[in-house]
């Protein structure tokens, strides 16, 4: 099945150490789908939470559809995610452990359906972020050095 990326969460891998990923469906209204097709969605500062045995994504901003009317929904409303009951029970067990969070990573079309990739990860400490940035910087300098040498 063909997939088409809609948007990514820019801070997911920076703020969290993602250990596992899973795919979830998302419940949307018609005008929200039209707005998503135009690319007017933002995953920054989003997270997933479990309420009453159901999974919800909180903080995902979908701009109102311009040609919509009374059917437009609140851009920041909580949206229900679709997972099987055993997967939700597994997530309940993981999130009760210390430091685990559910982080939306990417939003994409899979065929005609909108899917959300969730990551299960631990929050990074400040020194972890600094080490990662230093490692990326060192790799960049090495690549640049080899590029200059080959010219």
pLDDT of residue 108: 92
- Cα–Cα nearest to 102, from 81, 119, 90, 117: 119
Residue 40 has pLDDT above 90, yes or no: no
SS3 label, residue 74: coil
pLDDT of residue 116: 92
CA distance 67 to 6: 20
Residue 6 has pLDDT above 80, yes or no: yes
pLDDT of residue 26: 92
Lowest mean pLDDT among 26-35, 67-76, 88-97: 67-76
Q: Left (φ > 0), alpha (ψ -120 to 50) or beta: where does 75 sit?
A: alpha
pLDDT of residue 56: 93
CA distance 19 to 37: 30
Per-residue CA distances from 95 to 30, 101, 103, 118 (Å): 32, 6, 11, 13
Q: Which fold has domain 3-124?
A: Small Protein B; Chain: A; (2.40.280)
The answer for residues whose C-beta is within 8 angstroms of residue 68's C-beta and 6 or more apart is: 31, 34, 35
As given in the structure block, the two tokens for residue 133 are 């940035």
What is the mean pLDDT of the segment spanning 53-76?
Answer: 80
The tens digit of pLDDT for each residue in 84-138 reads: 989 888 888 888 877 688 899 999 999 888 999 998 888 777 766 788 788 888 8
């Amino acid at each position: 099945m063909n997939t088409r990326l809609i948007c990514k969460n820019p801070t997911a891998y920076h703020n969290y150490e993602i250990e596992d990923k899973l795919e979830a469906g998302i419940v949307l209204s018609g005008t929200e789908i039209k707005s998503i097709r135009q690319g007017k969605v933002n995953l920054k500062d989003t997270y997933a939470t479990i309420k009453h045995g159901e999974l919800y994504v909180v903080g995902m901003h979908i701009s109102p559809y311009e040609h919509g009317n009374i059917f437009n929904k609140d851009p920041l409303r909580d949206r229900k995610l679709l997972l099987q009951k055993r997967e939700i029970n597994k997530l309940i067990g993981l999130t009760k452990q210390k430091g685990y969070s559910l982080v939306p990573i990417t939003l994409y079309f899979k065929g005609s359906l909108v899917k959300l990739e969730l990551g299960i990860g631990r929050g990074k400490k400040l020194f972890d972020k600094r080490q990662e940035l230093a490692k990326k910087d060192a790799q960049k300098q090495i690549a640049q050095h080899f590029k200059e040498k080959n010219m």
